[in-house]
Amino acid sequence: MNSVAKTSNIFQAAIHGFQTFRALIFLSACFVVNGCSTGDHGRISNSAPGPIVETPTNFETALKQNQAALAEGKGAEDLALYNIGVILAHPANPKKDQTKAINSFKVLVEDYPRSIYAEPSKVWIDVLEQQRKLKEERQKLAEEKRGLTREREMFVQERQKLYYENEKSQQLDMEIEKRRRQLRR
């Protein structure tokens, strides 16, 4: 597969991942804003209906509130884990941390397998892992591009050097030919 086709496939996958990510953000916003109940968790939880934090405008404060609620056992722990994951994965969060977000979602799925947030958490995990893979692939392609650019520059320099040597050789040939003519006279 040539690099153009490979790049095209990566961009198509990135677009698909981005569309899935947008849909997931919308779904998460619906959960948080509508205050869905937490349901049966598989593990005992203080299932207070509704979100611990409404739509976060200050990510750091919202994150601290959810972490405190989780540590104190205040509110629905599954919802707190879900909110923590969403806040850490949110694209507008300047301190986003996808690894911690994935971990939060995984804890939710393991500890609360029957939570209404378990399935969306699984989707988040898949999307975030796809994004991580795409980011790694983009980095590899960028490194490959830099390497190819350096190689091209070396070829350009080599070509210029050969061109210069060819010019010198032609001048020498002309000089030799000129002297031969002078000697024949």
- 11-16 LR contacts (CB < 8 Å, sep 24+): 13/130, 13/134, 14/134, 14/138
- Which one is predicted more confidently, 172 or 29? 172
Answering whether pTM is above 0.85, one says no
């601290």: which residue's tokens? 64
Residue 82: closest CA among 53, 58, 43? 53
Position 2 confidence tier, pLDDT thresholds 50, 70, 90 = low
**% residues pLDDT > 70 (the chain):** 69
| Tens-place pLDDT, residues 91-142 | 888 889 999 999 999 999 999 999 999 999 999 999 999 999 999 999 999 9
Radius of gyration of the chain (CA): 31
- Distance, in Å, from the CA atom of 84 to the CA atom of 78, rounded to the nearest integer, reads 10
**How far does Cα 148 stand from its chain's mean position?**
23
- Distance, in Å, from the CA atom of 2 to the CA atom of 146, rounded to the nearest integer, reads 17
Find all residues with CB under 8 Å of 151, minimum gap 6, and list them.
none
Ramachandran class of 75: left when φ > 0, alpha when ψ lies in -120 to 50, beta otherwise = left
Q: Which of 4-18, 37-51, 140-154 has the lowest mean pLDDT?
A: 37-51
In the chain, what are the domain boundaries?
3-137
| Tens-place pLDDT, residues 21-47 | 555 555 554 444 333 333 333 443 444
The structure tokens listed for 92 are 């507008």
- Distance, in Å, from the CA atom of 83 to the CA atom of 51, rounded to the nearest integer, reads 8
Position 17 confidence tier, pLDDT thresholds 50, 70, 90 = low
